[in-house]
Chain A
Amino acid sequence: MGDTTDGTGALGVLLLADARLPTGAHAHSATLEAALAAGLRTEQIPDYIRARLRGVARAEAAAAVLALRAARENPVDFAPIQAALAARTPSRALRDASASLGRGLTRLARGLFPEHSAVAALATAPDDTPGLRVLRPIPLGALGAAFGMAVDQVARAALYDEAQCVAAAALKLRPGDPIAATRWVVDAAPDIEESVRVAVGATVPGDVPARSAPQLDRWAGAHAYSTRRLFVA
Protein backbone atom coordinates (compact mmCIF):
# COMPACT_ATOMS: atom_id res chain seq x y z
CA MET A 1 0.00 0.00 0.00
CA GLY A 2 1.21 3.46 -0.84
CA ASP A 3 1.04 6.47 1.42
CA THR A 4 -1.89 8.11 -0.41
CA THR A 5 -5.61 7.40 -0.54
CA ASP A 6 -7.21 6.59 -3.87
CA GLY A 7 -8.79 10.04 -3.74
CA THR A 8 -12.37 8.78 -3.88
CA GLY A 9 -14.59 11.43 -2.36
CA ALA A 10 -11.59 13.33 -1.01
CA LEU A 11 -12.38 16.57 -2.78
CA GLY A 12 -15.99 16.32 -1.62
CA VAL A 13 -14.81 16.02 1.98
CA LEU A 14 -12.76 19.19 1.68
CA LEU A 15 -15.44 21.15 -0.14
CA LEU A 16 -18.29 20.21 2.20
CA ALA A 17 -16.22 21.16 5.25
CA ASP A 18 -15.11 24.50 3.81
CA ALA A 19 -16.71 27.61 5.27
CA ARG A 20 -16.17 29.31 1.90
CA LEU A 21 -18.70 26.97 0.30
CA PRO A 22 -21.49 29.22 -1.01
CA THR A 23 -24.39 27.71 0.97
CA GLY A 24 -25.22 30.48 3.43
CA ALA A 25 -23.85 28.60 6.45
CA HIS A 26 -22.08 31.76 7.67
CA ALA A 27 -25.49 33.12 8.73
CA HIS A 28 -25.97 30.27 11.22
CA SER A 29 -24.76 29.91 14.80
CA ALA A 30 -26.28 26.46 15.54
CA THR A 31 -28.53 28.25 18.08
CA LEU A 32 -25.47 29.50 19.99
CA GLU A 33 -26.63 33.11 19.78
CA ALA A 34 -29.90 32.23 21.51
CA ALA A 35 -28.10 30.06 24.07
CA LEU A 36 -25.78 32.94 25.00
CA ALA A 37 -28.74 35.31 25.17
CA ALA A 38 -30.37 32.89 27.62
CA GLY A 39 -27.33 32.97 29.87
CA LEU A 40 -24.94 30.33 28.55
CA ARG A 41 -21.43 31.26 29.67
CA THR A 42 -18.46 31.30 27.29
CA GLU A 43 -16.73 28.52 29.26
CA GLN A 44 -19.79 26.31 28.71
CA ILE A 45 -19.47 26.46 24.90
CA PRO A 46 -17.44 23.20 24.69
CA ASP A 47 -20.26 21.47 26.61
CA TYR A 48 -22.76 23.06 24.27
CA ILE A 49 -20.84 21.64 21.28
CA ARG A 50 -20.89 18.22 22.98
CA ALA A 51 -24.66 18.42 23.53
CA ARG A 52 -25.23 19.40 19.88
CA LEU A 53 -23.02 16.58 18.62
CA ARG A 54 -24.93 14.01 20.68
CA GLY A 55 -28.33 15.41 19.78
CA VAL A 56 -29.45 17.38 16.77
CA ALA A 57 -26.17 16.91 14.84
CA ARG A 58 -26.22 13.14 15.35
CA ALA A 59 -29.76 12.98 13.97
CA GLU A 60 -28.74 15.06 10.95
CA ALA A 61 -25.63 12.96 10.38
CA ALA A 62 -27.69 9.75 10.46
CA ALA A 63 -30.17 11.26 8.02
CA ALA A 64 -27.28 12.27 5.74
CA VAL A 65 -25.94 8.69 5.82
CA LEU A 66 -29.39 7.36 4.90
CA ALA A 67 -29.70 10.00 2.16
CA LEU A 68 -26.34 8.96 0.70
CA ARG A 69 -27.40 5.31 0.70
CA ALA A 70 -30.76 6.23 -0.86
CA ALA A 71 -28.93 8.31 -3.47
CA ARG A 72 -27.25 5.15 -4.75
CA GLU A 73 -30.59 3.39 -5.29
CA ASN A 74 -32.73 3.43 -8.37
CA PRO A 75 -35.16 5.12 -8.19
CA VAL A 76 -33.96 7.57 -5.54
CA ASP A 77 -36.55 8.30 -2.82
CA PHE A 78 -35.57 10.75 -0.10
CA ALA A 79 -39.12 11.41 1.18
CA PRO A 80 -39.17 8.83 4.03
CA ILE A 81 -35.83 10.15 5.37
CA GLN A 82 -37.02 13.76 5.30
CA ALA A 83 -40.28 12.70 7.04
CA ALA A 84 -38.42 10.76 9.76
CA LEU A 85 -36.13 13.70 10.52
CA ALA A 86 -39.08 16.13 10.54
CA ALA A 87 -40.98 13.95 13.07
CA ARG A 88 -37.85 13.99 15.27
CA THR A 89 -37.49 17.78 15.11
CA PRO A 90 -40.47 19.23 17.00
CA SER A 91 -39.12 22.79 16.83
CA ARG A 92 -40.18 24.67 13.73
CA ALA A 93 -37.27 27.07 14.28
CA LEU A 94 -34.79 24.17 14.08
CA ARG A 95 -36.54 22.69 11.03
CA ASP A 96 -36.44 26.11 9.37
CA ALA A 97 -32.72 26.43 10.14
CA SER A 98 -32.06 23.01 8.60
CA ALA A 99 -34.23 23.87 5.58
CA SER A 100 -32.39 27.15 5.09
CA LEU A 101 -29.05 25.29 4.96
CA GLY A 102 -30.71 22.66 2.79
CA ARG A 103 -31.68 25.29 0.26
CA GLY A 104 -28.09 26.48 -0.11
CA LEU A 105 -26.80 22.92 -0.50
CA THR A 106 -29.57 22.08 -2.99
CA ARG A 107 -28.64 25.09 -5.10
CA LEU A 108 -25.00 24.01 -5.01
CA ALA A 109 -25.87 20.40 -5.92
CA ARG A 110 -28.05 21.49 -8.85
CA GLY A 111 -25.34 23.84 -10.09
CA LEU A 112 -22.54 21.28 -9.89
CA PHE A 113 -24.32 18.04 -10.80
CA PRO A 114 -27.52 18.88 -12.69
CA GLU A 115 -27.63 15.48 -14.40
CA HIS A 116 -27.14 13.33 -11.31
CA SER A 117 -30.19 11.18 -10.45
CA ALA A 118 -29.86 11.93 -6.71
CA VAL A 119 -29.79 15.66 -7.39
CA ALA A 120 -32.90 15.38 -9.56
CA ALA A 121 -34.62 13.46 -6.74
CA LEU A 122 -34.20 16.41 -4.34
CA ALA A 123 -37.36 17.82 -5.90
CA THR A 124 -39.52 15.03 -4.46
CA ALA A 125 -37.83 14.84 -1.04
CA PRO A 126 -40.57 16.94 0.66
CA ASP A 127 -43.43 14.84 -0.79
CA ASP A 128 -44.38 13.45 2.66
CA THR A 129 -43.82 16.71 4.53
CA PRO A 130 -46.04 19.35 2.91
CA GLY A 131 -44.93 22.89 3.66
CA LEU A 132 -41.41 21.88 4.64
CA ARG A 133 -38.52 22.50 2.26
CA VAL A 134 -35.67 20.04 1.85
CA LEU A 135 -33.74 19.59 5.10
CA ARG A 136 -29.93 19.91 5.14
CA PRO A 137 -28.96 16.20 5.35
CA ILE A 138 -30.81 15.30 2.16
CA PRO A 139 -28.75 17.41 -0.30
CA LEU A 140 -25.69 16.59 1.80
CA GLY A 141 -26.27 12.91 1.01
CA ALA A 142 -26.96 13.70 -2.66
CA LEU A 143 -23.72 15.69 -2.90
CA GLY A 144 -21.89 12.87 -1.14
CA ALA A 145 -23.14 10.45 -3.80
CA ALA A 146 -22.15 12.81 -6.61
CA PHE A 147 -18.65 13.24 -5.15
CA GLY A 148 -18.28 9.49 -4.54
CA MET A 149 -17.92 9.92 -0.79
CA ALA A 150 -18.23 7.13 1.78
CA VAL A 151 -20.99 7.24 4.41
CA ASP A 152 -18.63 7.98 7.30
CA GLN A 153 -17.14 10.86 5.32
CA VAL A 154 -20.56 12.45 4.89
CA ALA A 155 -21.46 11.89 8.56
CA ARG A 156 -18.16 13.38 9.72
CA ALA A 157 -18.57 16.37 7.41
CA ALA A 158 -22.01 17.07 8.92
CA LEU A 159 -20.74 16.74 12.50
CA TYR A 160 -17.54 18.69 11.94
CA ASP A 161 -19.54 21.45 10.30
CA GLU A 162 -21.79 21.60 13.37
CA ALA A 163 -18.87 21.95 15.79
CA GLN A 164 -17.11 24.48 13.57
CA CYS A 165 -20.34 26.44 13.13
CA VAL A 166 -20.62 26.93 16.91
CA ALA A 167 -16.92 27.80 17.26
CA ALA A 168 -16.98 30.34 14.41
CA ALA A 169 -20.18 31.96 15.68
CA ALA A 170 -18.66 32.15 19.18
CA LEU A 171 -15.80 34.26 17.82
CA LYS A 172 -18.31 36.78 16.49
CA LEU A 173 -20.61 36.75 19.54
CA ARG A 174 -17.93 36.57 22.29
CA PRO A 175 -14.70 37.61 20.58
CA GLY A 176 -11.76 35.63 21.95
CA ASP A 177 -8.74 33.62 20.92
CA PRO A 178 -9.39 31.82 17.59
CA ILE A 179 -6.91 29.11 18.55
CA ALA A 180 -8.90 28.40 21.71
CA ALA A 181 -12.04 28.12 19.58
CA THR A 182 -10.26 25.70 17.26
CA ARG A 183 -9.26 23.66 20.30
CA TRP A 184 -12.95 23.23 21.17
CA VAL A 185 -13.43 21.55 17.80
CA VAL A 186 -10.32 19.38 18.15
CA ASP A 187 -11.34 18.38 21.68
CA ALA A 188 -14.77 17.36 20.34
CA ALA A 189 -13.16 14.63 18.21
CA PRO A 190 -14.27 11.71 20.44
CA ASP A 191 -17.87 12.96 20.38
CA ILE A 192 -17.71 13.45 16.61
CA GLU A 193 -16.38 9.93 16.09
CA GLU A 194 -18.95 8.39 18.44
CA SER A 195 -21.72 10.13 16.51
CA VAL A 196 -20.16 9.01 13.20
CA ARG A 197 -20.39 5.41 14.45
CA VAL A 198 -24.05 5.80 15.43
CA ALA A 199 -24.91 7.61 12.19
CA VAL A 200 -23.26 4.99 9.99
CA GLY A 201 -25.25 2.30 11.82
CA ALA A 202 -28.56 3.75 10.62
CA THR A 203 -30.11 1.57 7.92
CA VAL A 204 -33.79 2.61 7.87
CA PRO A 205 -35.46 6.01 8.50
CA GLY A 206 -36.73 4.78 11.90
CA ASP A 207 -33.08 4.55 12.99
CA VAL A 208 -32.62 8.34 12.90
CA PRO A 209 -31.92 9.25 16.55
CA ALA A 210 -34.69 11.24 18.21
CA ARG A 211 -32.75 12.65 21.17
CA SER A 212 -34.87 15.30 22.82
CA ALA A 213 -33.26 18.57 23.93
CA PRO A 214 -36.05 20.64 25.49
CA GLN A 215 -33.88 23.59 26.47
CA LEU A 216 -32.39 23.81 22.97
CA ASP A 217 -35.87 23.77 21.43
CA ARG A 218 -36.81 26.64 23.73
CA TRP A 219 -33.74 28.68 22.84
CA ALA A 220 -34.39 28.16 19.13
CA GLY A 221 -38.01 29.27 19.61
CA ALA A 222 -36.98 32.37 21.54
CA HIS A 223 -34.47 33.28 18.82
CA ALA A 224 -37.20 33.13 16.19
CA TYR A 225 -39.13 35.71 18.28
CA SER A 226 -36.08 37.92 18.84
CA THR A 227 -35.85 41.12 16.86
CA ARG A 228 -32.22 41.82 17.78
CA ARG A 229 -30.03 39.09 16.39
CA LEU A 230 -26.86 38.66 14.36
CA PHE A 231 -27.48 35.15 13.04
CA VAL A 232 -30.66 33.81 11.39
CA ALA A 233 -30.52 30.72 13.61
Chain B
Amino acid sequence: MTVVPETRHAPTPDAPTVVSVARGGTSTHPVELRTGTFLAPCAMRRPGRAQRVALTGVRASLCAGDEVELRVDVGPGAELELTDPNGTLAYNARGGRAAWRARLTLAEGARMTWHEPSFVVADGADVLREIDVVLAPGAELLWWETLVLGRAGERGGALRSLTRVERDGAELLVEDLDLRDSAERELPGITGRARVLGQVGLFGRVPADPRGPDRLDLAGPGTLWRAAARRTYLVDTELGPVWRAWGGHG
Protein backbone atom coordinates (compact mmCIF):
# COMPACT_ATOMS: atom_id res chain seq x y z
CA MET B 1 0.00 0.00 0.00
CA THR B 2 1.37 3.44 -0.90
CA VAL B 3 0.34 6.84 0.28
CA VAL B 4 -0.82 9.14 -2.49
CA PRO B 5 0.02 12.76 -1.77
CA GLU B 6 -2.92 15.10 -2.08
CA THR B 7 -3.43 18.83 -1.90
CA ARG B 8 -3.59 20.10 1.63
CA HIS B 9 -5.34 23.32 2.47
CA ALA B 10 -4.13 25.45 5.32
CA PRO B 11 -6.43 24.70 8.25
CA THR B 12 -8.49 27.45 9.81
CA PRO B 13 -9.50 27.28 13.49
CA ASP B 14 -11.63 24.18 14.12
CA ALA B 15 -12.20 23.68 10.40
CA PRO B 16 -13.98 20.51 9.38
CA THR B 17 -12.21 17.60 7.77
CA VAL B 18 -13.89 16.68 4.50
CA VAL B 19 -13.79 13.36 2.70
CA SER B 20 -15.78 13.24 -0.52
CA VAL B 21 -15.58 10.45 -3.05
CA ALA B 22 -17.40 9.64 -6.29
CA ARG B 23 -17.64 6.76 -8.63
CA GLY B 24 -16.02 7.01 -12.05
CA GLY B 25 -16.37 3.99 -14.32
CA THR B 26 -15.83 0.90 -12.23
CA SER B 27 -13.83 2.48 -9.44
CA THR B 28 -14.12 5.24 -6.85
CA HIS B 29 -11.91 8.31 -6.69
CA PRO B 30 -11.54 11.26 -4.30
CA VAL B 31 -13.45 14.43 -5.15
CA GLU B 32 -12.26 16.38 -2.14
CA LEU B 33 -9.93 15.50 0.73
CA ARG B 34 -9.71 18.54 2.92
CA THR B 35 -7.54 18.70 6.00
CA GLY B 36 -9.33 20.13 9.00
CA THR B 37 -7.98 21.51 12.21
CA PHE B 38 -7.51 18.09 13.76
CA LEU B 39 -7.66 15.39 11.10
CA ALA B 40 -6.05 14.97 7.70
CA PRO B 41 -7.53 12.54 5.18
CA CYS B 42 -4.98 10.51 3.30
CA ALA B 43 -5.89 8.59 0.14
CA MET B 44 -4.42 5.10 0.05
CA ARG B 45 -3.94 3.15 -3.14
CA ARG B 46 -5.11 -0.42 -3.03
CA PRO B 47 -6.50 -2.98 -5.43
CA GLY B 48 -10.24 -3.23 -5.85
CA ARG B 49 -13.05 -0.83 -6.61
CA ALA B 50 -13.21 0.95 -3.27
CA GLN B 51 -11.28 4.10 -2.35
CA ARG B 52 -9.47 3.75 0.95
CA VAL B 53 -8.89 6.86 3.04
CA ALA B 54 -7.00 6.97 6.33
CA LEU B 55 -7.43 9.75 8.86
CA THR B 56 -4.30 10.98 10.56
CA GLY B 57 -4.00 13.43 13.42
CA VAL B 58 -2.80 16.93 12.59
CA ARG B 59 -2.30 17.86 16.22
CA ALA B 60 -3.08 16.53 19.65
CA SER B 61 -6.77 16.24 20.36
CA LEU B 62 -9.18 16.15 22.09
CA CYS B 63 -8.40 18.89 24.55
CA ALA B 64 -10.82 21.24 26.30
CA GLY B 65 -12.56 23.48 23.79
CA ASP B 66 -11.71 21.31 20.77
CA GLU B 67 -14.49 20.73 18.30
CA VAL B 68 -13.55 18.08 15.80
CA GLU B 69 -15.77 17.87 12.77
CA LEU B 70 -15.66 15.25 10.06
CA ARG B 71 -17.83 15.35 6.95
CA VAL B 72 -17.98 12.37 4.65
CA ASP B 73 -19.81 12.26 1.37
CA VAL B 74 -20.01 9.09 -0.72
CA GLY B 75 -21.48 9.64 -4.18
CA PRO B 76 -23.95 7.40 -6.01
CA GLY B 77 -22.60 3.87 -6.40
CA ALA B 78 -19.23 4.83 -4.90
CA GLU B 79 -17.35 2.74 -2.31
CA LEU B 80 -15.28 4.18 0.51
CA GLU B 81 -13.19 2.47 3.16
CA LEU B 82 -12.45 4.92 5.94
CA THR B 83 -10.01 4.05 8.66
CA ASP B 84 -8.81 5.96 11.64
CA PRO B 85 -5.71 3.92 12.51
CA ASN B 86 -4.64 6.01 15.50
CA GLY B 87 -8.04 6.45 17.09
CA THR B 88 -8.94 9.37 19.32
CA LEU B 89 -7.87 10.22 22.85
CA ALA B 90 -9.83 12.78 24.83
CA TYR B 91 -7.54 14.28 27.47
CA ASN B 92 -8.37 15.58 30.93
CA ALA B 93 -10.33 18.73 30.15
CA ARG B 94 -9.89 20.24 33.63
CA GLY B 95 -13.43 21.55 33.64
CA GLY B 96 -13.66 22.22 29.90
CA ARG B 97 -15.50 20.29 27.26
CA ALA B 98 -14.75 18.91 23.84
CA ALA B 99 -16.88 17.72 20.95
CA TRP B 100 -16.30 15.18 18.20
CA ARG B 101 -18.81 15.25 15.38
CA ALA B 102 -19.14 13.27 12.19
CA ARG B 103 -21.72 13.56 9.47
CA LEU B 104 -21.84 10.81 6.87
CA THR B 105 -23.94 11.11 3.73
CA LEU B 106 -24.24 8.10 1.44
CA ALA B 107 -25.98 8.54 -1.91
CA GLU B 108 -28.01 5.90 -3.71
CA GLY B 109 -26.21 2.60 -3.97
CA ALA B 110 -23.14 3.93 -2.12
CA ARG B 111 -21.16 1.69 0.22
CA MET B 112 -18.91 2.67 3.06
CA THR B 113 -16.96 0.90 5.76
CA TRP B 114 -15.62 2.85 8.70
CA HIS B 115 -13.31 1.42 11.33
CA GLU B 116 -12.65 3.38 14.51
CA PRO B 117 -10.28 1.28 16.60
CA SER B 118 -10.59 3.36 19.75
CA PHE B 119 -12.19 6.48 21.12
CA VAL B 120 -10.65 6.85 24.55
CA VAL B 121 -12.12 9.14 27.18
CA ALA B 122 -9.42 9.74 29.81
CA ASP B 123 -10.11 10.67 33.42
CA GLY B 124 -11.28 14.27 33.61
CA ALA B 125 -12.34 14.46 29.96
CA ASP B 126 -15.84 15.66 29.09
CA VAL B 127 -16.79 14.77 25.55
CA LEU B 128 -19.85 15.05 23.41
CA ARG B 129 -19.70 12.68 20.46
CA GLU B 130 -22.29 13.07 17.73
CA ILE B 131 -22.55 10.80 14.73
CA ASP B 132 -25.14 11.58 12.08
CA VAL B 133 -25.64 9.24 9.16
CA VAL B 134 -27.92 9.85 6.20
CA LEU B 135 -28.43 6.91 3.86
CA ALA B 136 -30.16 7.09 0.49
CA PRO B 137 -32.07 4.05 -0.77
CA GLY B 138 -29.74 1.17 -1.55
CA ALA B 139 -26.84 2.69 0.41
CA GLU B 140 -25.00 0.58 2.95
CA LEU B 141 -22.76 1.50 5.87
CA LEU B 142 -20.66 -0.91 7.90
CA TRP B 143 -19.24 0.82 10.95
CA TRP B 144 -17.09 -0.43 13.81
CA GLU B 145 -16.76 1.90 16.78
CA THR B 146 -14.93 1.29 20.02
CA LEU B 147 -15.59 3.53 23.00
CA VAL B 148 -13.10 3.21 25.85
CA LEU B 149 -13.70 4.66 29.30
CA GLY B 150 -10.32 5.68 30.63
CA ARG B 151 -6.76 4.72 29.84
CA ALA B 152 -5.28 1.73 31.65
CA GLY B 153 -6.15 1.91 35.34
CA GLU B 154 -8.55 4.83 34.93
CA ARG B 155 -12.30 4.91 35.42
CA GLY B 156 -12.74 7.30 32.49
CA GLY B 157 -14.24 10.73 32.09
CA ALA B 158 -17.66 11.90 30.97
CA LEU B 159 -18.91 10.77 27.59
CA ARG B 160 -22.18 11.37 25.87
CA SER B 161 -22.42 9.65 22.51
CA LEU B 162 -25.35 10.47 20.26
CA THR B 163 -25.98 8.36 17.18
CA ARG B 164 -28.61 9.03 14.58
CA VAL B 165 -28.96 6.97 11.42
CA GLU B 166 -31.57 7.96 8.89
CA ARG B 167 -32.43 5.91 5.85
CA ASP B 168 -34.64 7.01 3.02
CA GLY B 169 -35.92 9.89 5.16
CA ALA B 170 -36.91 7.73 8.15
CA GLU B 171 -35.09 7.15 11.44
CA LEU B 172 -33.39 3.78 11.50
CA LEU B 173 -31.51 4.15 14.79
CA VAL B 174 -31.48 6.89 17.41
CA GLU B 175 -29.33 6.34 20.49
CA ASP B 176 -28.22 8.50 23.36
CA LEU B 177 -25.46 6.71 25.24
CA ASP B 178 -25.14 8.99 28.23
CA LEU B 179 -22.14 8.00 30.32
CA ARG B 180 -21.51 11.40 31.89
CA ASP B 181 -22.38 10.40 35.44
CA SER B 182 -20.12 7.59 36.61
CA ALA B 183 -22.57 6.42 39.32
CA GLU B 184 -25.45 6.36 36.88
CA ARG B 185 -23.57 4.52 34.16
CA GLU B 186 -22.76 1.77 36.63
CA LEU B 187 -26.46 1.17 37.36
CA PRO B 188 -27.50 -2.34 36.34
CA GLY B 189 -28.30 -2.50 32.62
CA ILE B 190 -26.17 0.40 31.39
CA THR B 191 -22.47 -0.55 31.14
CA GLY B 192 -22.04 -2.80 34.16
CA ARG B 193 -18.34 -3.26 34.90
CA ALA B 194 -17.32 -2.91 31.26
CA ARG B 195 -14.74 -0.27 30.33
CA VAL B 196 -14.78 -0.90 26.61
CA LEU B 197 -17.95 -0.80 24.53
CA GLY B 198 -17.55 -1.98 20.95
CA GLN B 199 -20.17 -2.14 18.29
CA VAL B 200 -20.27 -3.20 14.66
CA GLY B 201 -23.28 -1.75 12.88
CA LEU B 202 -24.53 -2.66 9.44
CA PHE B 203 -27.07 -0.19 8.13
CA GLY B 204 -29.09 -0.61 4.95
CA ARG B 205 -29.01 -4.40 4.89
CA VAL B 206 -29.80 -7.30 7.20
CA PRO B 207 -27.05 -9.95 7.23
CA ALA B 208 -27.93 -13.64 7.55
CA ASP B 209 -25.14 -14.56 9.97
CA PRO B 210 -23.74 -14.74 12.56
CA ARG B 211 -26.53 -14.94 15.12
CA GLY B 212 -26.43 -14.74 18.90
CA PRO B 213 -27.64 -12.83 21.95
CA ASP B 214 -25.31 -9.89 21.23
CA ARG B 215 -26.87 -9.31 17.84
CA LEU B 216 -29.47 -6.55 17.70
CA ASP B 217 -31.76 -6.53 14.69
CA LEU B 218 -33.22 -3.07 14.26
CA ALA B 219 -36.87 -2.48 13.38
CA GLY B 220 -35.72 -1.34 9.93
CA PRO B 221 -32.97 -2.78 7.70
CA GLY B 222 -29.96 -2.75 9.97
CA THR B 223 -28.16 -4.86 12.55
CA LEU B 224 -25.81 -4.15 15.43
CA TRP B 225 -23.42 -6.49 17.19
CA ARG B 226 -22.15 -5.30 20.52
CA ALA B 227 -19.41 -6.42 22.82
CA ALA B 228 -18.49 -5.04 26.22
CA ALA B 229 -15.46 -5.96 28.29
CA ARG B 230 -12.75 -4.61 30.59
CA ARG B 231 -10.13 -4.73 27.82
CA THR B 232 -10.11 -3.64 24.20
CA TYR B 233 -8.54 -6.83 22.87
CA LEU B 234 -11.43 -8.90 24.28
CA VAL B 235 -13.93 -6.72 22.45
CA ASP B 236 -11.85 -6.87 19.25
CA THR B 237 -11.67 -10.66 19.44
CA GLU B 238 -15.46 -10.85 19.55
CA LEU B 239 -16.18 -8.20 16.93
CA GLY B 240 -13.49 -9.07 14.36
CA PRO B 241 -15.31 -12.11 12.93
CA VAL B 242 -18.61 -10.15 12.78
CA TRP B 243 -16.91 -7.26 10.96
CA ARG B 244 -15.42 -9.64 8.39
CA ALA B 245 -18.64 -11.67 8.00
CA TRP B 246 -20.52 -8.47 7.20
CA GLY B 247 -17.99 -7.42 4.55
CA GLY B 248 -15.39 -5.43 6.52
CA HIS B 249 -11.85 -5.21 5.17
CA GLY B 250 -8.64 -6.33 6.85
Contacts and interface: CB of A to CB of B under 8 A. Distances in A.
Most chain A CB neighbours (cut-off 10 Å) among B174, B176, B212, B218: B174
Contact of A225 (B176, B177, B190, B213): B213
6 pairs of A and B residues whose beta carbons are closest in the complex: A216-B189, A86-B219, A87-B171, A221-B213, A51-B187, A222-B213
Contacts of B217: 92
A212 B188 contact: no
B197 interface: yes
Nearest to A213: B189
Interface residues on B, range: 20 to 34
Interface string A186-222: 0000000000000000000000011111111111011
A128 interface: yes
A170 to B, nearest CB: 13
Nearest to A87: B171
Nearest to B217: A92
Given A92-B216, A95-B219, A214-B194, 6 more contacts: A48-B188, A55-B189, A87-B219, A90-B216, A90-B218, A215-B188
16 contacts: A31-B189, A55-B189, A83-B171, A83-B219, A88-B174, A90-B173, A210-B176, A211-B176, A214-B197, A214-B228, A215-B188, A215-B189, A215-B190, A215-B191, A218-B228, A219-B189
A215 B228 contact: yes
A83 B173 CA distance: 10
B18 interface: no
Interface in A95-129: 95, 128-129
Interface residues on A, range: 35 or more
Nearest to B184: A54
B175 to A, nearest CB: 4
A89 B171 CA distance: 11
B219 A212 contact: no
Most chain A CB neighbours (cut-off 10 Å) among B175, B191, B194, B219: B219
Contacts of B226: 214, 217-218
Contact of B189 (A51, A83, A225): A51
Given A89-B219, A128-B170, A212 B175 contact: yes
Nearest to A56: B189
Nearest to A85: B219
Interface of A: 31, 35, 40, 44, 47-48, 50-52, 54-55, 83-84, 86-92, 95, 128-129, 131-132, 209-219, 221-222, 224-225
Nearest to A89: B219
A178 B171 CA distance: 42
Contacts of A216: 189-190
A84 B217 CA distance: 16
B170 A48 contact: no
Nearest to B215: A221
Contacts of B228: 214-215, 218
B219 A218 contact: no
B189 A129 contact: no
B188 A214 contact: no
A215 B193 CA distance: 10
B84 interface: no
B187 A47 contact: yes
A224 B217 CA distance: 13
B174 A210 contact: yes
A31 B213 CA distance: 14
B192 interface: yes
